[in-house]
Every structure is written in structure tokens, then in C-alpha cells.
Amino acid sequence: MIRAILHITLREWKRILTRPDHCLVLLVMPAFLFFFYAYIYEKQQAEDLPVAIWDEDHSPVSRQITFLLEQTPSIHITHAVSSQAELEQLMQSQQITGAVHFPKNLEKDIKSRHPVKVSIFTNAASLVPGKLIYKDATTVIVTAGSGVNLQKFMKTGMTEEKAMALIMPVSLTTYPLYNPTYNYQHYLVPGLITVALQMMIIMVAVLLLNKEWSEGTMDELRHMARNSAGNIIAGKTLAHLGVSWVNFVLITGIIFPFFALDHPGTTFHLFILFNFLALACIGIGLMISALAGDAMLALDVGLFYTSPAFVFSGFTFPRWGMPWYDQYYANLMPYTPFLDAFFKVYFMELPLRYAMPEVIKLLLFIGFTFFIAVFFLQLRLNKTVTHVIPLTAPGSENGGA
């Protein structure tokens, strides 16, 4: 049996290397796509976004705050405007992403103890730049307000320490853990890479059985496997698992170190976790391939099933913010538990035991899909042996690359 499985594995490797619909997707596309994703976020953070100043005060205070705004990472002052209409027009023509308004008598009001409001306008239709500008501008304005209060309290004879305690009675120290600089490359690229990889595995695995039927090579495979569906599935699975290891090496050995995305000490745990994902994806692909005789139909099903994985997994928008039915659907994809475990093992550098609930879910995927694939393939193998049906299948016209 082991010999038969190994023969099938070798045969499958040959197929992977010679068929464009296997080779391009499993060996060429990953290298190109993974570099592409990492290259997009080479700058890591959005900086120097164009911002306008609407200064109706023209005072030393407004100039001082303007100077402080320019010193922040996200803000680069590019325009001076004199009305809200002008400001909106500049936003609509994409010349600015935000603006800060200093009202008339700003300095005078501060000195005469009248509260003033400094308005921060952002183009919230562009969410990422808008939020960055808001964060930096708010920090500057709150700091400026605190400075005014500090001076006032100290003028009353209060010590600096006490004045600070009044300005900020409860200071908040924040620790954004695991990505303290909110680096976009570190955040998005590992997720994009892993979601692309699961898609690649499934998009090829959906062709593994139906192509054999449609191209008339199943008979040869059946003989190698001694009419055992289990042997066929095991041999093919081993071959594709081996190829996924090549991609794992590409990710952790080349892409992550090259773009400084690696988390030392996590590779082994990640490898174990990655194997569960790869097996779950191969299992799903084989199950679809065993059930759908037409390769093109199987590919469409695979495409429909895998392409939403990234958004449903909760990577960018948390699952608890989705309606219940979407949360339910998210759980029908192996990428969802993998991502939760990936966060723990890779980003948070935790031991694998924290990812056990997700590993169990992935094991359930593996058990269920492989069972269905073996069961239906064996049924079909037995049927064709009993009735000696010619080894062709519908949909063969959509065949080979």
C-alpha cells in the first residue's frame, strides 16, 4: 500500500510540473503574487498627506499650532484656504485629504478665557488617510489646549507637577501590542499571502480527480492504487502537501526575511499550523473534485468558495461586526480558524496550545472532507469496474490547458 501511495505521489509531482493549470498556480504565481503584495506596502505607513489650513486668526498661536501640525508624520500642509466651500472643492478634486480651521479671535479668546474650537476636517470617504490626519491633528490640538491650561494653573502659583495632575488627572499609557507602529506592511501582507495560498491550493485541488476522469487517465491511476480510493487520495494529498511546503519555505525563508516580516521563533509552530490549513484546503478541493465531474464547474465552485475568505475571515473587518448569517458562513471556511490561530502563533508569538480550539476546527474540516472525497471516489471506482463504463466524463470539452 505504501509503495502504491508513493508511486501515485511521484506521478502527481510529475503532473504538477508539467501541467500549466497546476504548475503556474502552485509554483509560479505564489512567488510573483507574494512579492507583489509585500511591495505594495513597501512604505509601511501613509505619511505626508496633503492638508489645508484655514486660518482666520493669523495669530502667533495659530501659526504655532500650524507648525506643530506640520511636524506630525501624517500631515503635510500644502494649501491655505479661506472658506469651507474652497476646502470642500479641494477635497472633491483630490488635492487635499484634510484641513484644520482656526476661528477668528482664537488667540484673543484663549487669553480672555473663552473656550475655542479648532475644527478638523477630513475626507472620511478615504478612511485610512482621514483617520491618520484626525489622530495626529487631535493630538496636537489637545496638547496645545493642555499647554494653555498648564500656563494658567502655574500663573496661580501652582507647581508644575500639580498643574499637570489637574490637566491630565488620569494619564493613559497605551501599548499597541504586536504592531506598535501600526505598520501596514506587517499587518496586511502575511494575511494576504496566506489567503492567496489557501486559494491556490483549493483552485488546483478541485481539478485533481475530475481531470483524471475527463482525460481518461483514471484507469492508469486506479491500477497504481489497486482500485483503492484511499490510496489515490493519500498519494495525491502527499504530493500537494509537499508542494505547499515549497511555498512555506518561500514565505518564511524568503519573503518574510526579505521584507523584515519574520517573527523569530515562530516558524516551527507556524509550520504545524500551516500543514493543518494545507490539508484542510486539499481535502476541500478533493471533495469538490470527487463530487463535481466537470472540471470547469468544480473550478467555479472553488472560486466562489475561496475568493471571499479574506473578507469573511475578519482580517480587516471583525466578524462580530457582521450579521449572524455571515458569521456562520465564515465558519464554513478553513481560513477563518486558521487566521485566528495565525494571529496567536505568528503575530502574538504564543505557544501552539493557545490555538488548540482553531486546530480542532481545522481537524474537523480535514476529517469531514477527506471522508467524503474517499467515499465518493470509491463509489465511482467500484461502479466503473462493475459496469465497465468507458472512462470519460461529461465536460471533457473544457479540458486541458
131-150 residues in contact with other proteins (CB under 8 A) are: 131, 134-135, 137-138, 141-142, 144-145, 148-149
DSSP H or E segment with residue 213: helix 210-214
Q: Which of 73, 230, 242, 308 binds other proteins (CB under 8 A)?
A: 308
Q: Which is nearer to other proteins, 303 or 379 (CB)?
A: 303
**163 in Cβ contact with 154 (< 8 Å):** yes
* Residue 387 beta carbon to other proteins: minimum distance, rounded to whole angstroms: 26
Calpha distance 80→29 (Å, rounded):
47
* Residue 306 beta carbon to other proteins: minimum distance, rounded to whole angstroms: 8
Q: Which of 8, 208, 225, 299 binds other proteins (CB under 8 A)?
A: 299
Calpha distance 266→269 (Å, rounded):
6
* Residue 354 beta carbon to other proteins: minimum distance, rounded to whole angstroms: 5
Which residues from 214-253 bind other proteins, rule CB under 8 A? Answer: none
* Residue 361 beta carbon to other proteins: minimum distance, rounded to whole angstroms: 13
Interface with other proteins, residue 36, by CB under 8 A: yes
Q: Which is nearer to other proteins, 17 or 303 (CB)?
A: 303
Interface with other proteins, residue 192, by CB under 8 A: yes
* Residue 75 beta carbon to other proteins: minimum distance, rounded to whole angstroms: 13
Q: Cα–Cα distances in Å, from 39 out to 36, 128, 134, 184, 255?
A: 5, 19, 27, 11, 10
Interface with other proteins, residue 126, by CB under 8 A: yes
Residues ≥6 apart with Cβ < 8 Å to 194: 277, 335, 338, 339, 342
Which residues from 335-394 bind other proteins, rule CB under 8 A? Answer: 340, 343-344, 347-348, 350, 354, 357
Residues ≥6 apart with Cβ < 8 Å to 258: 38
How does DSSP classify residue 103? P
The stretch near other proteins (CB under 8 A) out of 223-231, 253-261, 323-331, 383-391 is 323-331
* Residue 119 beta carbon to other proteins: minimum distance, rounded to whole angstroms: 4
Calpha distance 203→274 (Å, rounded):
17
**56 in Cβ contact with 104 (< 8 Å):** yes
Give me the residues paired with residue 76 across strands.
50
Q: Which of 360, 193, 342 is nearest to 280 (CA)?
A: 360
* Interface pattern 41-80 for other proteins (x via CB under 8 A): xxx--xx-x-------------------------------
Whole-angstrom distance between the N-terminal and C-terminal Cα of the chain? 32
Q: Which is nearer to other proteins, 88 or 230 (CB)?
A: 88
The stretch near other proteins (CB under 8 A) out of 222-230, 252-260, 298-306, 359-367 is 298-306
Calpha distance 164→255 (Å, rounded):
47
Interface with other proteins, residue 39, by CB under 8 A: yes
Q: Which is nearer to other proteins, 5 or 301 (CB)?
A: 301
* Residue 62 beta carbon to other proteins: minimum distance, rounded to whole angstroms: 11
Calpha distance 121→54 (Å, rounded):
10
Q: Which is nearer to other proteins, 77 or 311 (CB)?
A: 311
Amino acid code (one letter) for 149: N
The stretch near other proteins (CB under 8 A) out of 32-40, 250-258, 270-278, 363-371 is 32-40
How does DSSP classify residue 352? G
98-102 β-sheet, strand order:
75-80, 49-55, 98-102
* Interface pattern 148-187 for other proteins (x via CB under 8 A): xx--x--------xx-xxxxxxxxxxxxxxxxx-x-x--x
Which residues from 277-296 bind other proteins, rule CB under 8 A? Answer: 294-296
Calpha distance 231→210 (Å, rounded):
16
Q: Which of 330, 353, 332, 331 is nearest to 341 (CA)?
A: 353
